[in-house]
Amino acid sequence: MRRIVALSGGVGGARFLRGLVRATDPKGITVVGNVGDDVDVLGLHVSPDLDSILYALAGVSDDERGWGRADESWTAFGEAGRLGGESWFQLGDRDIGLHLVRTQALGRGEPLSTVTARLVSAFGLDVALLPATDDELRTWIDTPAGSFPFQEWFVARRHRDDVDRVRFEGEETARPAPGVLEAIAAAELVVICPSNPFISIWPILAVAEIREALERRNTPAVAVSPLVGGRAVKGPADRMLDRLAGGTEPVRVATCYPGLVDALVFDESDAEGAGAVERLGIRPVVARTLMRDEAASRALAETVLASV
């Protein structure tokens, strides 16, 4: 069994993890998930990225919509909206079932990591899924139009504003969730999933002890680029890289993870960027990175496993 730690955001990370659990023994995998996106909706604690991972690995995600659960219905959400409740952040009925369980657990003082572990076993998964932190760590987006809590910018404003800066409220005091540092210390491979560097991976690295443990690692680390042909498959990663990292070539993704990666896997359509990655002292690995289906995810995971 190969012991692997994977840092992941939501959908892009989850797509990759679906391949990783088929390419290697899932019992060896610890996923460290982003919680900077967590949000309170209608009194429910929603952890969108942890849930995208849970749903994808359990095979119950809606891949067409790109988020949430398959076979979803919207009765509770529709009724809440009709009664004047919050309606900017959609929650399906099945999804709400999970949020009720989580919210009740948190309300009686259970840490997020504990309730997440219960959800993992309720879905019958073999991986460990740990939130980066049990503490409150929230992503804020500074834009020319003002500063917004992450979901207000992403969902309510449809990430239309350019991003000047990403901040993480609570980062000074956030501690790694139990098991994160142990998993990093025991890992034979660290993988940074093809997630948005700024809003999915940076909030994990904002937990100082996690970043330090990864800087000190004595095991190889590989990142997978979320860009294909210099464009995000979905979402604002390309715009953000352009504005915050100076471009969308593979090397710009690498510069988001200084001292944290030994190899970068990126798409064959971006192959001309290999030299610049190499000049950073990072091994460039060119592959097909578009995960159209499970077979493509698995092939990409196998490339990552063979890359170092």
The pair of structure tokens assigned to 205 is 């690295």
Which of Ca ion, ligand GDP, none does 234 bind, CB closer than 5 to 8 A by kind? ligand GDP
Residue 229 burial (CB count, 10 A)? 12
Restricting to residues 108-137, which ones interact with ligand GDP according to CB under 6 A? none
Ramachandran quadrant class, 3 (left: phi over 0; alpha: psi -120 to 50; beta: rest)? beta
Of 5, 7, 15, 255, the residue at the interface with ligand GDP (CB under 6 A) is 15
Nearer to Ca ion, 11 or 189 (CB): 11
Q: 188, 159 in Cβ contact below 8 A?
A: no
d(CA 27, CA 2): 9
Nearer to ligand GDP, 39 or 185 (CB): 39
Q: 249, 273 in Cβ contact below 8 A?
A: yes
Verify binding: residue 31, ligand GDP, rule CB under 6 A.
Answer: no
Minimum CB separation of residue 49 from ligand GDP in Å reads 5
Helix (H) or strand (E) holding 98: helix 93-107
Q: For residue 14, what are the CA distances in angstroms to 34, 73, 149, 294?
A: 12, 22, 23, 11
Q: Tell me the number of residues near ligand GDP by CB under 6 A.
A: 24
Among 126-134, 145-153, 156-164, 289-297, the segment contacting ligand GDP (CB under 6 A):
289-297
Binding site for Ca ion (CB under 5 A): 9-10, 37, 49
Binding site for ligand GDP (CB under 6 A): 8-13, 15, 49, 52, 194-196, 200, 225-226, 228, 232-235, 237, 289-291
